[in-house]
Amino acid sequence: MTVYMKNERIVIRDMAPEDTDVFVKEEIAQGWNQTPDKYLMRLSHRDQGLCIPLTAEYDGQPAGYISVYPRSIEGPFGHQDLPEIVDFGVLEKYRRRGIGSALMDQAEKIAGEYADLVYLGVGLHAGYGSAQRMYVKRGYIPDGSGVWHKESPCIPYAEYPNDDDLMLFLSKKLK
């Protein structure tokens, strides 16, 4: 198992299968509608060489996660040989301890090994407020493709549900 970063309290390492149960249990306790599917998919994508899923431990406990797709096939930058950061989360009980910044630092470092631009999608409802603020503070800007729902740009003046699939894509120059 690769360890990407370590300090006195935080370790960023490869995601392990056993992290799935911890994240699902903790996110359900937070009131989220969670299943193991997305974590198992990331691990499967890793095994196929498609992504690099990371786990952050805080004092030895899984506390957050993030994945980097070095050559994403989705979103406005899909099929352009650009990395995408996806599925970033820090469990509520571990927030405001530097875990999210450590995960983003490592994800951007990995992305920078593949290209000088990285992108990500962020949800638009209030549940994504802290992520939206973090991305702006880190220098991410809207890519100009407008709002997307699932895998397609939204049609102007059409109605869409304000769910987890309603996103704005942001990009950041790394070098």
Q: How many domains does the chain have?
A: 1
In a domain, 130, yes or no: no
Is 22 contained in some domain?
A: yes
Report percent pLDDT > 70 for the chain.
100
User: What is the DSSP annotation of 138-157?
Assistant: TT-EEEEEEEEETTEEPPTT
Quick: pLDDT tens for 11-62.
999 999 999 999 989 888 888 888 889 999 999 999 999 999 999 999 999 9
Q: Using CB atoms within 10 Å of the CB of residue 151, give its burial: 0 to 12 exposed, 13 to 18 middle, 19+ buried.
A: exposed
> For the stretch 23-55, what's the b/e string if a residue is b when 16 or more beta carbons lie within 10 angstroms of its beta carbon?
bbebbeeeeeebeeebbeebbebbeeebbbbbb
- Within 13 A of 108's CA, how many CA atoms are on the CB side? 16
pLDDT in tens, 129-174: 989 999 999 999 999 999 999 989 999 999 999 999 999 999 999 9
Quote the domain boundaries for residue 74: 3-123
What CATH number should be reported for the domain holding residue 93? Answer: 3.40.630.30
Residue 10 placed within a domain: yes
Whether 84 is in a domain gets the answer: yes
pTM, whole model, 2 decimals?
0.92
**106 occurs within a structural domain:** yes
Task: For residue range 154-164, list pLDDT tens digits in order.
Answer: 999 999 999 99
pLDDT per residue as tens digits for the range 66-87 = 999 999 888 888 889 999 999 9
